[in-house]
Structure 1
Amino acid sequence: MYGYESSRLGIDFGTTHTVAALTVQGARVQQLLFDSGPLLSSAVYGEDDRPLLVGRDAHRGARVDPTRFEPNPKRRIDDGTVLLGTREYPVAELVAAVLRRVAAEAARVGGGSPGATVLTYPANWATTRRGVLAEAAQRAGLGQLTLVPEPVAAAAYFTTVLGRPVPPGAALVVYDFGAGTFDTSVLRRRPDQVWEVLASDGVDVGGLDLDAAVVDLVGEAMATRDPALWARLRESDDEAVRRQRHTLFEEARAVKEQLSRAPSATVHVPLFDTHVHVTREQFEALARPWLARTVDLTAAALARTGLAADQVAGLFLVGGSSRIPLVGTMLHQRLGIAPTVIEQPELVVALGSLDALPGGRPAAAPVSAPPPLAPVSAAPISATPVSPVVPASAVPTAGPPPVPLWPTPPPLTKPPARRTRPRIGYALAAAAVLLVSAGAVASYQLLGNDTGGDNTGNNTGNGTGASPDSSIVVGAKPQENDAQAGAARQTAKIDKTVWYGGFKLTFGTAQYDDSQDPPLTIGVTLENLTDRQEYPDVDLVVKLGAQSYEGGFEGSNPVPARATSNGTAAFRLPERPERLTDGVLTVGRAGLLQAIVPFGGDGEFVPLEPKTVLTNKSVSAGALTMTVARCEIRGDNLETGYQVKDGQRHLSCRIDIKYHGADNRPGGQNIDTGNFRLRLPDKRTVEAPLPGTSALLNPDEVAKDEALIFTLTWPAPGDYALQLLDLGWLNHDPPSAKNTREIPLTLT
Structure 2
Amino acid sequence: MAYVLGVDVGTTRTTAAVCRLDGARDAEIALVVPSFLQLTDAGTFSVGEFDVAGWTATGFLRRVGDAVPFSLGPETCPAEELTALLIMWVIGEVVAREGEQPRHVAVSHPAGWGPYRRGQLYGALRAVGVHDVTLVPEPLAAAENHAVRARVVPDSSLAVFSLGSHAFSASVVRRSQSRTFELVNHVEGIDHHTGGDFDDLLGALVRGRLGKDGVVSAAECEAAKRAFGPSVVVGGVEITRDEFVEEIRPSVDHLVSTFVRAVGTVQPDAVLLVGGGCRMQVIGDSLSAAVDCRVLAEAAPEHSVAKGAAVAARLVVVGPEAEPEPFETSVLVHTREASLRFPVGEITRPDDEEFSAPPPRPPVDVSPLELPPRRVKRVASALNPVGRRSRSEKSDKYDDEDGR
**TM-score, length-normalised on structure 1?**
0.41
Secondary structure of the residue aligned to 1:295 is helix
Could you report, residue by residue, the CA deviation over 1:314-358 in whole angstroms, capped at 9, with x for unpaired residues?
Answer: 11111121111011011011113231111111222222224336x
1:88–1:349 distance in 2 versus 1, CA, 3 Å = same
1:189–1:181 distance in 2 versus 1, CA, 3 Å = same
1:324 matched to 2:285? The reply is no
Secondary structure of the residue aligned to 1:255 is helix
1:300 CA drift (Å) = 0.8
Secondary structure of the residue aligned to 2:30 is coil
Q: 2:225 — aligned with what?
A: 256
Higher strand share: 1
Higher helix share: 2
Q: 1:207 — aligned with what?
A: 195
Secondary structure of the residue aligned to 1:225 is coil
Q: 1:47 — aligned with what?
A: 40
1:421 matched to 2:332? The reply is yes
Secondary structure of the residue aligned to 1:341 is strand
1:690–1:52 distance in 2 versus 1, CA, 3 Å = closer
Q: 1:101 — aligned with what?
A: 89
Could you report, residue by residue, the CA deviation over 1:239-289 in whole angstroms, capped at 9, with x for unpaired residues?
Answer: xxxxxxxx9222232222222x4521304xxxxxxx554433333234333
Could you report, residue by residue, the CA deviation over 1:429-480 in whole angstroms, capped at 9, with x for unpaired residues?
Answer: xxxxxxxxxxxxxxxxxxxxxxxxxxxxxxxxxxxxxxxxxxxxxxxxxxxx
1:300 matched to 2:296? The reply is no
Alpha-carbon distance between aligned partners in 2 of 1:30 and 1:199, rounded to the nearest angstrom = 26
Letter aligned with residue 355 of structure 1: V
Q: Is the 8 A contact 1:9 1:20 kept in 2?
A: yes
Letter aligned with residue 312 of structure 2: A
What are the within-5 Å matches in structure 2 for residues 251-650 of structure 1?
251-259=220-228, 261=229, 263-267=231-235, 275-303=236-264, 306-308=265-267, 312-356=268-312, 360=315, 362-363=317-318, 420-421=331-332, 535-536=336-337
Q: 1:445 — aligned with what?
A: none
Q: 1:20 — aligned with what?
A: 16
1:167 matched to 2:126? The reply is no
Q: 1:652 — aligned with what?
A: none
CA-atom RMSD, angstroms?
A: 3.7
Alpha-carbon distance between aligned partners in 2 of 1:42 and 1:148, rounded to the nearest angstrom = 19
The structure whose RCO (Cα within 8 Å, separation 6+) is larger is: 2
1:187–1:255 distance in 2 versus 1, CA, 3 Å = same
1:689 CA drift (Å) = 7.0
- Quick one: which of 30, 34, 40 aligns to 1:33? 30
Q: 1:225 — aligned with what?
A: 212
Q: 2:132 — aligned with what?
A: 144
Q: Which runs of 5+ in 1 are unaligned?
A: 234-246, 268-274, 365-417, 423-500, 502-533, 537-558, 560-639, 644-672, 675-686, 695-748
Letter aligned with residue 217 of structure 2: L
Q: Is the 8 A contact 2:164 2:277 kept in 1?
A: yes
Percent identity, please: 25
Q: 2:383 — aligned with what?
A: none
1:258–1:72 distance in 2 versus 1, CA, 3 Å = farther
Could you report, residue by residue, the CA deviation over 1:615-672 in whole angstroms, capped at 9, with x for unpaired residues?
Answer: xxxxxxxxxxxxxxxxxxxxxxxxx6679xxxxxxxxxxxxxxxxxxxxxxxxxxxxx
Q: Is the 8 A contact 2:6 2:107 kept in 1?
A: yes
- Quick one: which of 84, 88, 102 aligns to 1:114? 102
Alpha-carbon distance between aligned partners in 1 of 2:74 and 2:237, rounded to the nearest angstrom = 36
Q: Is the 8 A contact 1:114 1:142 kept in 2?
A: no
Letter aligned with residue 340 of structure 1: L
Q: Is the 8 A contact 1:156 1:352 kept in 2?
A: yes
1:179–1:225 distance in 2 versus 1, CA, 3 Å = closer
Alpha-carbon distance between aligned partners in 2 of 1:321 and 1:71, rounded to the nearest angstrom = 19
Alpha-carbon distance between aligned partners in 2 of 1:44 and 1:363, rounded to the nearest angstrom = 34
**TM-score, length-normalised on structure 2?**
0.71
Alpha-carbon distance between aligned partners in 1 of 2:76 and 2:204, rounded to the nearest angstrom = 31
Q: 1:522 — aligned with what?
A: none
Alpha-carbon distance between aligned partners in 2 of 1:48 and 1:23, rounded to the nearest angstrom = 38
Q: Is the 8 A contact 1:16 1:72 kept in 2?
A: yes
1:69–1:690 distance in 2 versus 1, CA, 3 Å = closer
Secondary structure of the residue aligned to 2:217 is helix
1:141–1:293 distance in 2 versus 1, CA, 3 Å = farther
Could you report, residue by residue, the CA deviation over 1:338-382 in whole angstroms, capped at 9, with x for unpaired residues?
Answer: 31111111222222224336x825259xxxxxxxxxxxxxxxxxx
Q: Is the 8 A contact 2:231 2:241 kept in 1?
A: yes
Quick check: which has more Rg, 1 or 2? 1
1:74 matched to 2:61? The reply is yes
Alpha-carbon distance between aligned partners in 2 of 1:125 and 1:345, rounded to the nearest angstrom = 22
